[in-house]
Structure 1
Amino acid sequence: MSTPTATRPPAMPEAEGFEHLIVETPGLRSHVAAIGEGDPVLMLHGFPQHWWQWAQIAPAVAARGHRVYCPDLRGAGWTVADDPRIDRETRLHDVLALMDQLGIERAHVVSHDMGTVTVWQLVYDHPERVRTSVQLAVPPPYLRFDPRVMPGFRHMPAFIWHRPGASLQPIFSPAYLAHPLSEEVMAAHLAPMAVPEVDAAVRPLTRRFVIPEALRMMRGVYRRRRLTVPTLVVFGRKDWPWTEAVLTRACRDPEHRYADRVEFAYVDDAAHYVTDDAPEEVTALVLDWFERAG
């Protein structure tokens, strides 16, 4: 197999206690930050973040008897791909291959933002690989169209038409955060964007991965299927327009019509980047769900 080549990314941000692994699967060299020992947990980051999104959460989860894996997904962080193409299920196949290579038969899965879109595919198509799911800041895919949720997609045009080299710093604006990030934290999240291969992945991730899944959701594809994995959906109460009232209406599941077990939780004083706004609260919800549903 040929060795992937890419511009060398900046140094990784620091996080105490993590091991940094390079896991090779066909066409991909995945960087995986791992911590702890015990039952496996997979944490899939959102956009435009990477493994470091979980730096405050993974150690606390690991301390409760888990081996936590935080991979950089294709097109993000310090993972390098032979082929830059990204299609709707590319990341799903990457995650399955990674689990196989790591010897993970079944895991708890925690995800945020774009990471959750991959988890939709995982829990519906390969439920035997997922023990429980915690999905942050993204509704379940059986959501019914409601005009009030449309502002929740207001950021998409900037990603669809992303220009190479354009800063993604505006996505960390007060519209998506309850508490401003320091310049140092923002720089750590965005560091890999300096790599042309990572920057170039913004458009295909949006156009060929997120939008096709969003259209499937709007067409009701997932309402014709059944979610069998116990799933906790978590939103910050300041994540407009995803209010409790809107989500209750759009994601109603009378008598568990679409899912065996789905619960919603809301974090005060947090917005879309709930792992940055409220890491301790997210950790507590994750551990409680593992215990109650796993």
Structure 2
Amino acid sequence: MLDDVQFKHYRNEVNGITMHYVMGGKGDAVVLLHGWPQTWYEWRDVMPMLAENNYTVIVPDLRGLGDSSKPAIGFDGNTTASDIYQLVSDLGFNTTHLIGHDIGAQTGYSYATAHPNNVSKLVVIDYVFPGLLSNLSFAEPWWFSFHRTLDLPEALVAGNEREYLSWFYRQLAYNPYSVSEEAIDEYVRQYSAPGGMRSGFEYFRASANDATMNNETSRDKLAMPILAVSGEVSPFGGGDAKPNYSLESAKRLANNVSEIIMPFSGHWIPEEQPGPLADLLVKFFSDKSQHPSSNETGTGTSQAIEDLIKTIDNDSLIASNASHADNLSSVVSTEQTTPILSANLSTGPAQDTPVQTSMPLAGPASDETLSNMSISRNVSSDQRTSVNTTEKQTDGLLANQMTVLGNGSSNESARDMEGQVSQNQSEDNMAGQESIADQGTPLSEAIEAISKLFESKNGG
């Protein structure tokens, strides 16, 4: 039962760094690897649902991110995979299921190539593996090149972390408010810490190294089953007869790759559709079929995996969307509301008496356990249209709250700019969504200018 599941914070010395992780449950090991710009916290809604299905769930902060230490080097896939492998081994597990989202997918793949006999199944979520799409016309999003530029991103983003990071949470989602304000608070807290943004950018700067290694390792296809998941609205393509480059690159990893598009989701799948994703993971882990049947190359989707997406409870998809509509309402309202999910973890000792963190999180006091979380999977069935009807109100509020580059942080300056909100729709988001990048603030204009510069550089 979920009420019996407790998750706790730990620290462990691995591979020359101090790694923070959260762990709970009993059974086979499942390791959840977060993406950028996130931390372990992105998995908070998925963790208990896996644990209640008899898995030991291990959720680390990758090196340099969250509450893990921030070294100057070692952000390539091989090094980060070595971090995780040592952690899993120290915890006494010989094999594990690996799930990686975004940059966490690179770590997961590198782990699987280095230790193929120690990985039962691998799941990669919405990530384009560097070096594997040379035969396709994949135009990188502008921020890839920007983040690889030495020192400049750190200098421009310093003091404006919330505004910069929020742009990604809004723009790359199916529902622009599916990443809650509580989650954004937590991510901003972590990435605003000394070295937080730099460490995040270092993962992009390591991509050339990853590309070289991926080219080499992908020649020997992985034998374990792989599930590749992308969102219905992904920044990496799909729709309008364009290939989904996330899925295309995943096909290069193994001979047994199943592909699924998650409905009603963008890039932030663990936060946009946590219930359906958890259902899918549990069914994938328990699926005994080993060989897809779709084509000669062995990639595609097995009949068993095709059936998985059909069995995902549609009510949980609706509940997730309704929860995000509630998030939108909480942004519009000035009243403090109880968060849908309060991921606050026990600080008591656990196995091997590891050192525990005292990180503050949204919600009740930190001595409460994750078992007390309230997971809203059956709330009202408000649909995606409810978001569109209130977006203009929220856009105005967000404009008021922005820290304005070059003009200080006064609300008066922000209000003066409120009337400049463009009505242009974002091509990368759902119909009716107004692009936050077009709101007319100096920060938005800076992001737009930077994006055009690096898109031009990339030939996009």
In the TM superposition, residue 193 of structure 1 has moved relative to its aligned partner by: 1.1
2:128, 2:236 within 8 Å by CA — same for their partners in 1? Answer: no
Which of 53, 70, 74 in structure 2 is aligned with 1:64? Answer: 53
| Contact preservation (8 Å) 2:124, 2:250 | no
In the alignment, what sits opposite 2:210?
213
Cα gap change, 1:222/1:24 in structure 2, threshold over 3 Å: closer, same or farther? closer
Whether 2:275 is the aligned partner of 1:280: answer: yes
Matched, 1:163 2:163: no
Aligned-residue offset at 1:145: 3.0
Moved more, 36-45 or 168-177: 168-177
| Residue aligning to 2:42 | 53
Shift, 1:274, TM fit: 1.1
Cα distance, 1:170–1:147 mapped onto 2, change above 3 Å: farther
- Is the alpha carbon distance of 1:195 and 1:130 closer, same or farther for their aligned partners in structure 2, counting shifts above 3 Å? same
* Bigger share in strand: 1
Query: What is the aligned partner in structure 2 of residue 194 from structure 1?
Result: 192
The alignment yields a C-alpha RMSD, in angstroms, of 2.6
Query: What amino acid is aligned across from residue 121 of structure 1 in structure 2?
Result: S
C-alpha change, 1:267 and 1:252, in structure 2 (3 Å) is closer
Retained in 1: the 8 A contact 2:130–2:207? Answer: no
Say whether the 8 Å CA contact 2:236–2:244 is kept in structure 1. no
Deviations 1:149-189 (A, max 9, x none): 324x3321332232142524245344311121333221122
Q: Does the 8 A contact of 2:41 with 2:183 survive in 1?
A: no
Q: C-alpha separation between the residues in 2 aligned to 1:62 and 1:266? A: 24
CA displacement 1:89-109 (0-9 Å, x = unmatched)? 221221121112111211011
Moved more, 19-28 or 46-55: 19-28
- Judged with a 3 Å threshold, the aligned counterparts in structure 2 of structure 1 residues 116 and 252 are, in CA distance, closer, same or farther, namely closer
Q: Please tell me whether the aligned partners of residues 12 and 87 of structure 2 are also in contact (alpha carbons under 8 angstroms).
A: yes
Q: Return the alpha-carbon distance in structure 2 between the equivalents of residues 276 and 26 of structure 1.
A: 30
- Could you say if the C-alpha distance between residues 26 and 252 of structure 1 is closer, same or farther in structure 2, counting changes exceeding 3 Å? closer
SS in 2 for 1:199: helix
- The change in CA–CA distance for 1:17 and 1:148 in structure 2 (over 3 A counts) is farther
Q: Comparing both chains, which one has the higher relative contact order based on Cα–Cα distances under 8 Å and sequence gaps of 6 or more?
A: 1
Distance between the aligned counterparts of 2:244 and 2:201, measured in 1? 28
Contact 1:111 1:136 in 2 (8 A): yes
- Deviation string 1:20-48 (CA, Å, 9 cap, x unpaired) is 11112242211110121111111111111
Where in structure 1 are there 5+ consecutive unaligned residues? 1-15
Change (3 A) 1:45 1:293: farther
* C-alpha deviation, 1:132, in angstroms: 0.6
Match of 1:114 in 2: 103
Give the distance between the partners of 2:59 and 2:137, measured in 1 at CA: 33
1-structure distance, mates of 2:250, 2:80: 29
CA contact (8 A) 1:106 1:128 kept: yes
Tell me: CA distance 1:272–1:33, structure 2 relative to 1, closer, same or farther (3 Å). same
The secondary structure found in structure 1 opposite 2:38 is: coil
**Cα distance in 1 between the residues matched to 2:102 and 2:54:** 26
The equivalent position to 2:264 in structure 1, one of 269, 273, 282, is 269
22, 30, 42: which one aligns with 2:31: 42
Cα distance, 1:146–1:47 mapped onto 2, change above 3 Å: same
Residue 103 in structure 1 maps to residue 98 in structure 2:
no
2:73 alignment partner in structure 1: 85
